[in-house]
Structure 1
């Protein structure tokens, strides 16, 4: 995250980091607070809330911390609706508390999907994790097509865009899985080129996610419609959000766990040709090196022979 092109993480204290993005006051429940027994923890939370912060940040290190946070969220939500911002850690915290209370079964739902013969990946991610995943896929038979940022940002002709789509379509019709990517890791020279282009247009780097993501989404939609693809991956947090807006989808339903934070979903659309599309929206830092192949095979962690990047095992909770 230190090298993220839009929101670089140069400060470990999230209150300091977030203060660059908001003028709201930020309170903190730190790891020492979360080590307290529940009665003392609730009292500590009330003391923190008495200062009336606009935001209350919960730190977390252990599974036990997650369970404690889940209990606090559940109890507070009985008093009034809560607005919570976070990663899938919010769901993990609540699920852990509900399991401890017997409100959910203790075992994960390990639903799987059928494999598909080919997969389309569109990536606007600059993450080193996604870079490793792209390299793994290219070494294992995937066709890779670098998409110049100049093409996505409207700096090249329509003929160039058509040529690239035709190349991708040819690979897909040959039965190959295809990756369209804008960068290969945080050191890729395309990142600086994109920043220079945005500066020349009077835009800041935040605009890159929307501009690149939207065009990648349009390309994915065109390829799905022209080839009858059944399954795709959008890689990159910003890319995924803006890309999916271009695909005429109005809802997603979890089909199967691939890795925590990266489930395979069924998409719903008013367009009959897009309704039922299977899609993964993957943050840049999510997944092991063989993540794309896991998606193609519909398999979760622990079911393929290759190790995960961080050694973790688990399933996405619904």
Structure 2
């Protein structure tokens, strides 16, 4: 294994796995596998890039650090020459962490400084300029992320936000330096003594330049975009031959589960409602136990072939009201358990194509399914590939971060998940 990735949630893991497997034209990417948690055995010999998916974004800092160091040790044991700590392109975190503490812990373990921190993902509208994070033409704090139920991002200055979370100073490499080329970026980083350094990027070419500049860095952190140029480094020096996303999938019954409250997911649900059966999950009734996963199973199985969607997505006002009534952690834990139980029963009942929207929801679902490693297939939309589980009865998955995907994503995903 050449490249190892530690991802702080499951949708983010499939996002960066897609980026690495796809690579850049004409050479393509690396043979990539995604692992759900830290594996207990070695990876297959032909895996060139391994992505370890954790559910560490919103857990206590100490647990996130411990899990990430465990993933690091496994990846190093597989022979990885470079490690990526992958977090969301909207820098999802509180003022206390977990991005900064995990980044510092990994840097300490590898004894490195001047570690790039770049959440930019221009293909999904996320750019970094003057150390400020934008979502399309809006500052992060005006993009809707300020209303995130678990990690509200109220400050677009990620250098300042990261400084709250870390022990040391946070550096910055400006866009004009990036535009001077990889050698200039490399020299600027080498001259810095900061542990973490924000690097501006507003285009894929900027990320390719950064990737070339850090070809020999042991550690890099960022969104999935930071990996755009990393596969090419290994191909260029003859360590890998190149690869592109394979056409894989599974025929059979389908289901869509959405637990994200992002504006993009709510819009996708509205579009889906026009021509397909949908079920709105009443969170109050889930909390009281009046609504159970069996109600969702009955709805899904009764509408196979019609792309049935069950969702708990609400407006920011609805989310705040339900959190005020029951408590933020209590609501999150109950919904995670609800969706996990639902997905497990759906797969046991024969569902072979499953689309899940929302990072926390996806993490809960795949943890419950215990699928082992996942093969990375073709891209559905930027940041979202087809995933195929191993085993005698594989299932095809799409794990979508809340803000990702086109308006018709759900229908598109189900079509791409088919084997034929």
TM-score by length of 2: 0.58
Which of these residues, 279, 283, 300, is aligned with residue 397 of structure 2? Answer: 279
SS of structure 2 residue aligned to 1:241: helix
Offset at 1:216? 0.6
Distance verdict in 2 for CA 1:64–1:123, change over 3 Å: same
Q: Is the Cα contact below 8 Å between 2:281 and 2:311 reproduced in 1?
A: yes
Aligned partners of 2:240, 2:362: CA distance in 1, in Å? 30
Distance verdict in 2 for CA 1:47–1:63, change over 3 Å: same
Distance verdict in 2 for CA 1:30–1:119, change over 3 Å: farther
Q: Is the Cα contact below 8 Å between 1:165 and 1:219 reproduced in 2?
A: yes
**Which residue does the alignment assign to 1:195?**
323
Distance verdict in 2 for CA 1:19–1:41, change over 3 Å: closer
Q: Is the Cα contact below 8 Å between 1:67 and 1:96 reproduced in 2?
A: no
Offset at 1:209? 4.2
Flag the structure with more relative contact order, 1 or 2, with Cα contacts below 8 A and sequence separation at least 6. Answer: 2
Distance verdict in 2 for CA 1:221–1:115, change over 3 Å: closer
Aligned partners of 2:362, 2:206: CA distance in 1, in Å? 30
Which of these residues, 167, 190, 193, is aligned with residue 299 of structure 2? Answer: 167
**Which residue does the alignment assign to 1:177?**
307
Aligned partners of 1:117, 1:188: CA distance in 2, in Å? 38
Offset at 1:187? 3.7
Q: Is the Cα contact below 8 Å between 2:247 and 2:377 reproduced in 1?
A: yes
Aligned partners of 2:174, 2:201: CA distance in 1, in Å? 7
Superposed CA RMSD in Å reads 2.9
TM-score by length of 1: 0.75
Aligned partners of 1:238, 1:92: CA distance in 2, in Å? 25
SS of structure 2 residue aligned to 1:69: helix
SS of structure 2 residue aligned to 1:284: coil
Distance verdict in 2 for CA 1:178–1:187, change over 3 Å: same
The runs of 5 or more residues in structure 1 that have no matched partner are 200-204, 301-318
Q: Is the Cα contact below 8 Å between 2:397 and 2:417 reproduced in 1?
A: no
Aligned partners of 2:240, 2:252: CA distance in 1, in Å? 36
Offset at 1:94? 1.5
Offset at 1:119? 2.6
1:239-290 Cα offsets, whole Å, 9 max, x none, are 1122211112221111221112110101135xx5xx4111111101111011
SS of structure 2 residue aligned to 1:297: helix
**Which residue does the alignment assign to 2:415?**
297
**Which residue does the alignment assign to 1:58?**
199
